[in-house]
Amino acid sequence: MYVFCVADQQEVSAWRPRVPGVVEVFHAHFTEYAYPMHVHDAWTLLIVDDGAVRYDLDRHEHGTPLDTVSLLPPHVPHNGSPATPDGFRKRVVYLDSSRLGEELIGAAVDTPDLRDPLLRQRVGQLHSALARPGDELEAESRLTLVGERLRDSLRRRTDEPPRRPDPVLGRRLRELLDARVVEGVPLAEAARLLHAHPAHLVRAFSAAYGIAPHQYLMSRRVGRARRLLLDGLAPGEVAAATGFYDQAHLTRHFKKLVGVTPGRYRGSAR
């Protein structure tokens, strides 16, 4: 296991196990670093082992006491910062839609922090299995139990009226950005394709998702960059493959969203 440490007591390790449905595993200890608003295209299953995190999700403030499991849905902007003087130590599993479907996003937005001791224990056991090469079957079995309990918890809330607006124009712009993550799309071209004024397009997207279109696109690019770095590609290759202007451009956005440079992130991988 490779762990990268920096002077202000930040540590990160990241890897992608051979377990279906797991996009990435990410362990980190941050003392002062604060995440800006960003999005993921995967579900973020988070537990905090030391300290606490405060974060905003869908314009509402939340926290992560030690007895909770936090489940942040894809495409919904959130941030994160230490809520205790010594920072926080967290373990995260990013899951794709084969484990949790997008029909559960609304319920997760309403209540992302789950007070469930059994679920908390199972997520901890899952991380232990994911950290041991050769124990993929155990990890997949534990993940199946975790996913089942998460779905049961979320579906109990799906009868409530949805509270997240999803204007058609904002959704159509998100679909366009998703289809052109690497090459990008100028705002003027997007406005022409979607038959809307550029300013109206930005307002519609920001109102729907709580994040500007360019922030969303950079978040998606950084997400792709993380996976390519875990595949062993050099940062310069990753920058070219994910739509960044050059390596410096990648480094600036990557460090802003992940907390370390691409090279250090790649060096932390298993």
SS (H, E, C) 139-205: HHHHHHHHHHHHHHHHHCCCCCCCCCCCCHHHHHHHHHHHHCCCCCCCHHHHHHHHCCCHHHHHHHH
How many CB atoms within 10 Å of residue 74? 19
Going by pLDDT thresholds of 50, 70 and 90, the confidence category of residue 6 is very low
Q: What is the pLDDT of residue 28?
A: 92
Q: What is the pLDDT of residue 1?
A: 46
Say if CB 187 and CB 205 are below 8 A apart.
no
pTM: predicted TM-score of the whole model, two decimal places: 0.78
- CA dist 132 and 1 (Å) reads 9
Separation of alpha carbons 17 and 23, rounded Å: 8
Q: 169: Cβ–Cβ under 8 A, 6 or more apart, which residues? A: 194, 196, 200, 201, 204, 205
Which percentage of the chain shows pLDDT scores above 70? 93
Q: Average pLDDT for residues 59-87, to the nearest whole number?
A: 87
Superfamily of domain 168-267: Homeodomain-like (1.10.10.60)
Q: How far is CA 135 from its chain centroid?
A: 25
- The structure tokens 């279109």 sit at 213
Which of 63-77, 92-106, 209-223 has the lowest average pLDDT? Answer: 63-77
Domain ranges in the chain are: 4-155, 168-267
Tell me: the pLDDT tens digits for 81-96? 888 888 889 999 999 9
| Whole-number pLDDT of residue 166 | 52
The pLDDT of residue 192 is above 80: yes
Q: How many CB atoms lie within 10 A of CB 7?
A: 5
Pairing of strands 35-38, 78-82: antiparallel
pLDDT of 201 over the 90 cut: no
Residue 163: pLDDT over 50 = no
Copy the structure tokens of residue 83.
């809520």
State phi, psi for 24 to the nearest 5 degrees. Answer: -165, 150
Mean pLDDT of the region 55-80: 87
Higher per-residue confidence, 162 vs 267? 267
Res 259 pLDDT > 70: yes
10 Å Cβ neighbour count for 125?
A: 15
Greatest mean pLDDT range, 74-88, 113-127, 147-161, 192-206:
113-127
Range 138-164 average pLDDT: 78
Query: Where does 4-155 sit in CATH, by number?
Result: 2.60.120.10
Q: What one-character-per-residue DSSP string does 65-116 give? A: -TTEEEEEPTT--EEEEE-STT-EEEEEEEE-TTTS-GGGHHHHHH--EEE-
Cα–Cα separations (whole angstroms), residue 69 to 5, 84, 89, 117, 163: 26, 18, 14, 9, 22
Structure tokens at 269: 């991988």
Same fold, 4-155 and 168-267: no
